Structure 1
């Protein structure tokens, strides 16, 4: 069997002030024209490495194309998208007849002139391979499921967990089903149910945990091959935004549709029980002060999350910490390469007056003028990222401002793991509070050291209040903007 593999994606926040250009895809972060499987593991090449290992163990031939995954931000430039799509199609044509195409994409990539990049990639691939090649894709669960995707893929599988610690198992799932489909032992048929909802579903928490567990228990029984709960990515004003259920059955369209409808209705029924509670910045600080636990309280600044396309330079929470003279708190990661440069040039131990953050647009807020001492610098701050691979934050510094430990980085990236602090020498066990710029992917690695984990809604372009999102292009009513299924 001949198997073609590639990775190409990003998550597009249409409210973000940051365009996604060539450097975002073809800079130092996760860019390989080919051969990504021979490099250290990241979330971008993990599916490719998984597919190559499985295929070679089964005696199949692998043709590997690009690996490119840009940090979430705003619209991708049209020429950049078309160039990268062109590399994949060029390689697919050169490969000649293939039995299987496996693509790792995000599912919420939007480029100038393209509302549905993943559907467009799949359509171009199908035009090259013809109808007999099995085409499958693994997507982030924060994707937009579109008719163009459904028309051109035989198999669509999304991550089931948020945080996404199941990238490899889902890649294995896609490989297995695609191999069986190519061998003719199964006939996958996909069906979807539109939940018409906008929300955030945190899979470690009930009632979502029980739903995901039951959803997985339905697979591999009674002709059900795969079930995906698509959470959707609410911060994109595009058609087809919103939550959906996707079921793949073996040769039975009615069975697939019936189960998708049933599970979709269950998601609707748990809408109120799933609702998250968000604190204001001052309520979050009050919670730190009120805590009597020896372990730090962990707070998430969800609105300025780089993983959702934000600039990660909003300073509203930091300003309140300074104004209220809070000590023994760590906060990060702020994206401000200029401040990093100043601190690295000055060196450890120097005290500087700096202007931090607030640089990228209205959702960045105002910069903060502060005086702090450089406690540590590094040429490359590493943390554990999605899939367990390394995630680079680039040159970075620890800036101490009257007992507030601030992590400032050159590489815009959300905070995934404690190493974003500890690799600079910050001892989190001595902190009363730790504030991370992230929405959920930090959770699994921080929960064990925290007295509790709480969420803050502050200014930023990843606002968690779904009722206030302006999505005129969605083309339909979406809860909670109107209380109807």
Structure 2
């Protein structure tokens, strides 16, 4: 067997001013054929898992390009078309293959392309013909378009949010593909449209129990191969944005349709109850200030670079300073110019520095302070599950009893190694402020005395009922109170 595998992934916040070009992929991951590192990124696990699966079976894995860019705004047309055509050219050069395995995200939007993944899958299908299996992994914060469903045989999304299971879901993809190539199964997909926009953290109920039941059904229901919930990505203004359920069955679309609808209607019945309760910055900082012990983790949940924002908002930091909190550490504030100035000054230097709040309205005001440059790291990295996430040249500065990590490659706070990479022990801090919606939870909760979710400013379009969408359908909750009733 000869299997072609490649990856092309990012998440597009269509309201973000930060354009993704080829350099953005190169800053995060842009590996040529055979050059992907042993550790996967979020969306490239189908390649690393595929190496092991194919080696065990004596199959040939033909690797194409693997490219991942940290979330931001629209992908420049030339960047998308260049990477797409690179992968398609590699597939064509590979000659006849027995299957195609792709690592995608699912929420890409490029200049001139509302559905880049649909475009890529269509072109892959045209190259390999109707009978070659085309499988792909997805992030659940994606857009499941009819075009993608028509072009692919199997789509499997991560189940967990935080996405701690991206390697496990790649294992699922390969398990189904192995069985398909052996003739043991005939996978078919069924999709149910939940007609809603919501956020579904699996670190709390009701989504925790829902995902546990999905995995139990996969084990126990005969003929059911895979279940995925596409959460949707509410910062992506595209026509088919929204929550959907995928059921993959062994040649039984009736079973798939029934199960997908059952699960989808349960999600709709719980609409509005999934998201973590959030508080304003004044309350969050006040609660952290009086905590009996630390560290209290405050998640700046809507200035999340993982959702395409810049990650340079200062609203929470200003509140920390206003309330006189000491022993606080903030990670990170994206400011490449400030980092450059810190590197020029060197460790131990005291310099006047302005940083933060450059990217967009409602992100606060820049911080002006005389800071001490405590630590510099020319290539800082943190852990995220089985992967390593770069956040670029970074500096740790201190002033008024507060430590701030400034970085050059935008990345959300996944893991306490974010702080230790700059020589700071996160467990020794009273307060940790991180920029993440929920991916931080798996790694930070074990060290936190308390976890607080904070809605500070509005760098991210976090209220779909009022977000000024131009392309999103109108018959979807919460834009529409009950879309099922109105279409009955």
With the length of structure 2 as denominator, give the TM-score of the two structures. Answer: 0.96
Secondary structure, counterpart of 2:471 in structure 1: helix
Q: Which residue matches 2:207?
A: 208
* Structure 1 residue 363 displacement after superposition: 4.8
Q: Which residue matches 2:251?
A: 251
Q: How does 1:143-292 map to 2 (within 5 A)?
A: 143-220=142-219, 221-292=221-292
Secondary structure, counterpart of 2:170 in structure 1: helix
In structure 2, distance between residues paired with 1:159 and 1:422 = 28
* Structure 1 residue 95 displacement after superposition: 1.0
Residue 406 (str. 1) matches residue 404 (str. 2)? yes
Is the contact between residue 135 and residue 178 of structure 1 (CA under 8 Å) also seen in structure 2?
A: no
Q: Which residue matches 2:92?
A: 93
In structure 2, distance between residues paired with 1:428 and 1:180 = 45
Please give the per-residue CA displacement for 1:124-153, whole angstroms capped at 9, x wherever unaligned.
Answer: 000000001000000001010000001000
CA distance change for structure 1 residues 44 and 206 in 2, over 3 Å: closer, same or farther? closer
* Structure 1 residue 100 displacement after superposition: 0.7
Is the contact between residue 43 and residue 166 of structure 2 (CA under 8 Å) also seen in structure 1?
A: no
Q: Which residue matches 2:464?
A: 466
Q: Which residue matches 1:3?
A: 3
Q: Which residue matches 1:19?
A: 19
Is the contact between residue 9 and residue 109 of structure 1 (CA under 8 Å) also seen in structure 2?
A: yes
Please give the per-residue CA displacement for 1:95-145, whole angstroms capped at 9, x wherever unaligned.
Answer: 111111000000000001111111111000000000010000000010100
Residue 49 (str. 1) matches residue 14 (str. 2)? no
In structure 2, distance between residues paired with 1:28 and 1:271 = 37
Unaligned runs of 5+ in 2: none
In structure 2, distance between residues paired with 1:110 and 1:279 = 31
Moved segments of 4+, more than 6 Å: none
Secondary structure, counterpart of 2:12 in structure 1: coil
Secondary structure, counterpart of 2:302 in structure 1: helix
Is the contact between residue 46 and residue 101 of structure 2 (CA under 8 Å) also seen in structure 1?
A: no
In structure 1, distance between residues paired with 2:305 and 2:2 = 38
Is the contact between residue 223 and residue 250 of structure 1 (CA under 8 Å) also seen in structure 2?
A: yes
In structure 1, distance between residues paired with 2:36 and 2:331 = 31
Q: Which residue matches 1:378?
A: 377
In structure 2, distance between residues paired with 1:266 and 1:388 = 32
Q: Which residue matches 1:433?
A: 431
* Structure 1 residue 53 displacement after superposition: 1.0
Residue 456 (str. 1) matches residue 464 (str. 2)? no
Deviates more, 1:331-340 or 1:472-481: 472-481
Deviates more, 1:352-361 or 1:225-234: 352-361
In structure 2, distance between residues paired with 1:190 and 1:44 = 21
Is the contact between residue 416 and residue 441 of structure 1 (CA under 8 Å) also seen in structure 2?
A: yes
* Structure 1 residue 272 displacement after superposition: 4.1
Q: How does 1:60-139 map to 2 (within 5 A)?
A: 60-139=59-138
Q: Which residue matches 2:474?
A: 476
Secondary structure, counterpart of 2:52 in structure 1: helix
In structure 2, distance between residues paired with 1:142 and 1:134 = 24
Is the contact between residue 19 and residue 76 of structure 1 (CA under 8 Å) also seen in structure 2?
A: yes
In structure 1, distance between residues paired with 2:411 and 2:437 = 12
Secondary structure, counterpart of 2:28 in structure 1: coil
Is the contact between residue 43 and residue 138 of structure 2 (CA under 8 Å) also seen in structure 1?
A: no
In structure 1, distance between residues paired with 2:365 and 2:229 = 38
Q: Which residue matches 2:299?
A: 300
CA distance change for structure 1 residues 254 and 428 in 2, over 3 Å: closer, same or farther? same
Is the contact between residue 314 and residue 460 of structure 1 (CA under 8 Å) also seen in structure 2?
A: no
Deviates more, 1:312-321 or 1:300-309: 312-321
* Structure 1 residue 39 displacement after superposition: 4.7
In structure 2, distance between residues paired with 1:378 and 1:68 = 24
Q: Which residue matches 2:346?
A: 347
* Structure 1 residue 228 displacement after superposition: 0.2
Secondary structure, counterpart of 1:395 in structure 2: strand
Is the contact between residue 38 and residue 48 of structure 2 (CA under 8 Å) also seen in structure 1?
A: no
In structure 1, distance between residues paired with 2:279 and 2:245 = 30
Secondary structure, counterpart of 1:247 in structure 2: strand
In structure 1, distance between residues paired with 2:43 and 2:149 = 23
CA distance change for structure 1 residues 404 and 463 in 2, over 3 Å: closer, same or farther? farther
In structure 2, distance between residues paired with 1:424 and 1:262 = 48
* Structure 1 residue 44 displacement after superposition: 4.8
In structure 2, distance between residues paired with 1:44 and 1:196 = 26
Is the contact between residue 119 and residue 146 of structure 1 (CA under 8 Å) also seen in structure 2?
A: yes
- The CA RMSD measured in Å over matched residues stands at 1.5
Is the contact between residue 302 and residue 462 of structure 1 (CA under 8 Å) also seen in structure 2?
A: no
Secondary structure, counterpart of 2:406 in structure 1: strand
In structure 1, distance between residues paired with 2:369 and 2:380 = 23
Secondary structure, counterpart of 2:392 in structure 1: coil
Secondary structure, counterpart of 2:203 in structure 1: coil
In structure 1, distance between residues paired with 2:37 and 2:443 = 27
Q: Which residue matches 1:368?
A: 367
In structure 1, distance between residues paired with 2:406 and 2:36 = 31
Is the contact between residue 314 and residue 365 of structure 2 (CA under 8 Å) also seen in structure 1?
A: yes
